[in-house]
A and B are shown apart, each in its own frame.
Chain A
Amino acid sequence: MNDFFDPRFPGIEDLKAHAKKRMPGFAYDYLIGGCMEEISVKRNRLDIEAVQLRSEFLKPFESSILDVDLFGQTYSAPFGIAPVGLQGLMWPKAPEILAKSAADKNIPYILSTVSSASLETIAEISEGKAWFQLYNPTDKEIRQNLLERIKLAGYPVLVVTVDVPTFGYRPRDIKNGLAMPPKMTIKNILQMLSRPSWFIETALAGKPEMQTLKPYMPPNMPVDQLAAFMNQTVMGRVDIEGLKPIRDFWKGPLVIKGLINENDVKSAIELGADGVIISNHGGRQLDAGESPVKPLQVISEKYKSQIKIMMDSGLRSGTNIASALALGADFTFLGRPFVYAVGALGKKGGYHAINALSTQLTQIMNQLGCAQVSDLPQYLVD
């Protein structure tokens, strides 16, 4: 299983196409969708595709390794699995599948606060290797309880997302009336029935619910009140003051996710954060938002010595990963590609995607003549 690779799907696009055939429309739409006209989703792709690398052949070169040291751990590749909400809706047990394959392949998996698996379950499955992504709850009691659970479960790294002060205006989800668990409208039922493997596996796995947050929800809350509940208790604007109590509580590595402005990175450094993830939330929050490509380069030049700089949004291949690393990232995260993989291949999807991306990246590094990940910036065409 560990080395699973399905030659039918060499690229992420192949996985995406197959996943579309296996996921109900509303789930697929949620996964691929972005904010408003989805301009920033496209821009993310265009910008990262524009990055060019230059090979060097005649110098001595033996081989390249993908290993990266991060927060006291040596990971086997310079990429990890980004937090994706409602994963279990897109494919039953997707968080469990991805956490397990990430742990087996020794890369980080970040569990979303609004995931379908409970943080305790994922900590166990990943043998304590998974990271936790926190939407800082506005309700003090819930926040404290959640932080204590995260600590107790033994998560090594805490990632606090700060780029969701609003509910992203996502036309696809609005049209579909997206909810978790899904509403039983005729349209949704027909979509589910037309995806029998999703339907049967979902039934066997049980209805997708936000297991991590479930203890805080009033029992039997109607599905359409979930958004209101989330707004009031869990989500909300997080400013530097909001981060301070978390920094005080959390002694381990703390990562701030969703920064794109240099000023925010400075504040994060002042706060004493250990890492930042430069990101525009996969184009799901600000349609006119710039892609993280250029900010990444600027920020890494200035602050690389002071804080770990990671990046996500728009990465779909080994090429993209290499480009981001060449721009100065210490590490990268990909969200959608791994969910496509699980949608297309179920349990084996996680392994396939990790193996495909690693193979691609290794080929690129060998071609460049680059021995280790941290040397990639030397091959960037400025």
Chain B
Amino acid sequence: MNVEVSLHSLDYFVIAIYVILLMAVGLFVSLRQSKDASLFVGDKSVGFASIGMSIWGTNIGPSFLIASFGAAYGSGMLIANFEWMAWIFMLLLAMVFTPYYLSLNVTTIPQIIKRRFGETMYRLLTAYSLLTVVVVWLGGGLYVGGLLFSQFTGWELWQSVLLLLVIATSFTVVGGLAAVIVTDAFQTVLMIVGMAALTLIGLYEVGGVGELVSKAPPEYWSLIDLESEEVPWTAFILGYPIMAVWFWCTDQTIVQRVFAAKDLPTAQKGVFLAAALKILPPFIFILPGILFYILNPGIENTDGAFISMVSEYMPVGFRGLMIAVLMAALISTLDSGLNSFSTIFTLDFYEPIFKKGKPLSLPETRLVGRIVTVVASVLAFVWAIAMEGVASNLFELLQSLIAFLAPPLTTLFLIGLFWQRVTTTAAIYSFVIGCITCVTVGLLSVNGNTLGLFEAWPHFLTLSFLLFLFTSLLTVVLSLLTQHSSEEELLPSFKEMARKATSKSKKQSKNIWRAWAILALVMVSLYAGFEILASQNDSTPSLKTNGNKQVDIPPLPEVSVYRGSSPTFDGYISQGEYADATKLSGIEHWTSQFSPVKDTSDLNGSVWIKHDGEYLYFAFDVNDNLLYGFDTKRWLPNENDKAHELTRDGFPWFGDGVEVLINAENQWREEDEELNKGNGHSWQMVVSTHKSRLNGIGQGGLLEGEERSIESAWNNYQKWILEKAMEAKVQIKSNNKGYTIEWRIKPNPTLEIAPGEFWHADMPTTRMGLNIAIADLDNKHDGEGNWGNIHHENWWSGDRNKPTWLKNWGTMILHGDFKFKTTVE
């Protein structure tokens, strides 16, 4: 994520305006409140619009923003499921849980559990809640937000964290929940406006809606992908509800907004507004990620994609706006976390322990609440700074954290509140055992440690579901084995409470149900719309077959190659070195001989071609997240245990590397399976990243290509390498994240366009057959089912299984001269 972003004074001005406005709104609300308003539920004067926007803003933190942008960049709309499924659980909150909570007349979530299961469970839950607030809402978000802010400003992390924390704490201390909710609403508006601007500018750069639809890979539009590795659909369907019930229905930070409402209809309208606003994130948070992918594919670390887009495409002033958006995302999450920490601590910890259950006086509550808010922010500061030293996969950890924190709580609320047979003993034991199990499994799976018991952990969403099943089963079994204790109270059932609560306002409840029905329709049509988009696009790419009949035979590709400056032949592709070359980008979308590249971080990159009058140059810049022989063992394919011998028995192309095939005489018979001749007229050569003719195993370079079975071809190829008619330099990128190759070819003897006649730059424009392949060999299991267990092999021209047939090669149009005689300097 180390992208330098230069800020103009106008950007700082925009940020300053945002901070001033934010503080002004926060202080205005604080001072306007009546003196005896509660810090924790406000003075019950907050309107539904503020409640709705506050829920939305609290939910969207900086790590969400960065991660969903990155996920969209890497795999498209799939990540939108987390947004467009949320309404179901917000419906549950509004129509089931909210009437229940409000009728119990409580201020915190642990208090409900206290009434149901007594003191012990109450204490446990209080502790757990405080912990989750610090971990999920305060520390993690603050760390990510501080990191981003530092990147923009060049400050130290602690300075950024401190500034953000001071801003968030200031009005939270003074104004309590009311200030938090109203400022959240302001920040929500800012986030929507700012991200909409980013989306519009992205669209502008891409070339409008039409270009977006035609240029994005069709699978990027699909919301339902059964085979996705990032978000497997089954894992999502199983695991997401577990997280969502906890997050939306039972988490203090979200539910506290509902408690602040003056009555049930206000609360319900607020939650509905938040759910309706959930339509937006895919359009303004996820779509820009897809737009940026079109503009600039090939970024390895997708977490850095957001910053890259802002720094590359946002004009002056807008960068400041985007920083303000990031700050808003953070502060609206942070202030809510601080406030709910203070609420739980004061009411569920301080009051029962230090006051021995005697009710706190109002001034005392306010004093303690304020002190605790400050203490919480100090805790958050320490935690955020501490995170800097922790493992590098912390970012990922934060993403999956909720999945592991949720199961015990979801069990407790779903089974504990809906099923009256649950006993306190069962609740306590299954909660404790559940928490320990979840945390253990969470830590192990995030680190990829399987203890040698099985091959790999399932997706974290699947794990979340399994953990939920486990704790639920435990609760049920233990309940059946134990008896109700004296301190528990069987709360009235949901049905009773809901009926009581809604009977007061029948007409209003009818209206709210109607609104939910409309929202459901909108959501279903959004899903349908995107699936149609994904499937319509699906029929355009080249290789769709209808039975055995080709529906659409794609034209073979052509590329014009011009003269350019002589590159430095060192294997590195430096800035501008190939600016005058012709670029073939998007190798990840070429015809796949083996598994198609689904996850472009697996393999992506570009090829450049030019000549300088003396040599024909091919330059490859390939990003590959796993390099065979570097990141893996040098495992052998089942088909050949001599694969790495540098003889005719070996497999030269077995590994990560590239192949170039040229048909210099540009002649072929229109027959199937006609291959190259293995001489200057037509040939196929290999550059491997991990072995070479000249330097042996371990060092990348040129190798004899096909057809090695023809002895003359083998001899020609070897001679070319040894006599440097062809040379290649390979450079592995740092951290083995890919490689670059420069490959230069002397026209004589390798481009023999007619017997004894070799191509040279003074010739008129010449057409030759050309094909290029990029191979990606990963772990053996990655290529399971493919021949040789090769993971990917992408070809510039030709259909699957036929790219080596001469008649299927593309065309290289070699121009002797520069592309533009009057080059613009």
Residues of A within 8 A of B (CB): 139, 184-186, 189, 199-200, 202-207, 209, 218-219, 221, 225, 228-229, 232-233
Option from A202, A203, A207, A233 in Cβ contact (under 8 Å) with B822: A233
The answer to the question of B230 belonging to the interface, with a C-beta cut-off of 8 Å to chain A, is: no
Chain B, interface residues (CB within 8 Å), range: 20 to 34
In Å, the complex CA distance between A203 and B283 comes to 14
20 A–B contacts from the bound complex (CB under 8 Å): A139-B821, A139-B822, A184-B315, A186-B317, A202-B204, A203-B199, A203-B208, A204-B203, A205-B209, A206-B203, A206-B209, A206-B211, A218-B819, A218-B823, A218-B824, A221-B824, A225-B824, A232-B822, A232-B824, A233-B820
Chain B residues with Cβ below 8 Å from A232 are 822, 824
| CB-CB under 8 A for A206 and B204, given A184-B316, A186-B10 | yes
Tell me if B316 and A186 are in contact (CB < 8 A): yes
Chain A contacts for B136, CB-based, 8 A: none
Find the A residue at minimum CB distance from B10: A186
Q: Hey, which chain B residues are within 8 Å of A186, CB to CB?
A: 10, 316-317
Interface residues of B (CB under 8 A from A): 10, 199-201, 203-211, 315-318, 583, 819-824
- For residue A218, which residues in chain B have a CB less than 8 angstroms away from its CB? 819-820, 823-824
Q: Which of B10, B207, B209 contacts A207 (CB 8 A)?
A: B207
Inter-subunit contact B824/A200 (CB<8 Å) = no
- Given A184-B316, A204-B208, A206-B207, the answer on whether A199 and B824 have CB atoms closer than 8 Å is no
Cα-based distance from A225 to B825 in the complex (angstroms): 8
Partner of A204, one of B209, B315, B583, B819: B209
Q: How far is the CB of A327 from chain B (nearest CB, A)?
A: 43
Q: In the bound complex, what is the Cα–Cα distance between A30 and B16 (angstroms)?
A: 35
By DSSP majority rule, is chain B's interface helix, strand, loop, or mixed?
helix
Q: A200-B200, A203-B200, A233-B822 are in contact. Are A189 and B317 (CB under 8 A)?
A: yes
CA distance A203 to B198 in the complex (A): 10
Rank and list the top 5 A-B pairs by shortest CB-CB distance, nearest first: A206-B208, A206-B207, A184-B315, A203-B200, A203-B204
Q: Give the residue name and chain of the A residue nearest to B212 (CB).
A: A206
Shortest CB-to-CB span from A104 to chain B, Å, is: 21
What residues of chain A lie closer than 8 Å to B820, measured between beta carbons?
A: 218, 233
Q: Which residue of A lies closest to B202 (CB)?
A: A203
In the complex, what's the smallest C-beta–C-beta distance from B142 to chain A, in angstroms?
Answer: 32
> How long is the Cα–Cα vector from A232 to B208 in the complex, in angstroms?
30
Q: How far is the CA of A209 from the CA of B201 in the complex (A)?
A: 15
Contacting residue for A205 out of B10, B208, B822, B824, CB 8 A: B208
Closest Cβ of chain B to A288, distance in Å, is 32
Give the docked Cα–Cα distance between A209 and B207 (Å).
Answer: 9
A184 to B822, CA, bound (A): 27
Which chain A residue shows the least CB distance to B205? A207
By a CB distance below 8 angstroms, the chain B residues around A206 are: 203-211
- A257 CA to B321 CA, complexed, in Å: 48
A232 — nearest CB in chain B belongs to which residue?
A: B822
Chain A residues near B819 (CB-CB < 8 A): 218
**Is there an interface contact between A199 and B200, defined as CB atoms closer than 8 Å?**
yes
- Beta-carbon contact of B204 and A229 below 8 Å: no
Instruction: Using CB atoms, name the residue of chain A closest to B820.
Output: A218
Are B824 and A229 in contact (CB-based, < 8 A)?
yes
CA distance A200 to B203 in the complex (A): 10
In the docked arrangement, what's the CA distance between A294 and B714, Å?
81
Chain A minimum-CB-distance residue to B211:
A206
Chain B residues in 8 Å Cβ range of A203: 199-201, 203-204, 208
B135 to chain A, nearest CB (A): 39
User: Are A207 and B204 closer than 8 Å at their CB atoms?
Assistant: yes
Q: How far is the CA of A68 from the CA of B10 in the complex (A)?
A: 57
Which residues in A have their C-beta under 8 angstroms from that of B316?
184-186, 189
Is B207's CB under 8 angstroms from A228's CB? no
Shortest C-beta distance, B757 to chain A (Å), equals 26
A200 CA / B204 CA spacing, docked (Å): 9
What is the distance, in angstroms, from B48's C-beta to the closest C-beta of chain A? 28
A199 to B197 alpha-carbon distance, docked (Å): 10
Q: How far is the CA of A228 from the CA of B822 in the complex (A)?
A: 10
Chain B residue with the shortest CB-CB distance to A208? B204
The distance from the CB of B10 to the nearest CB of chain A, in whole angstroms, is 6
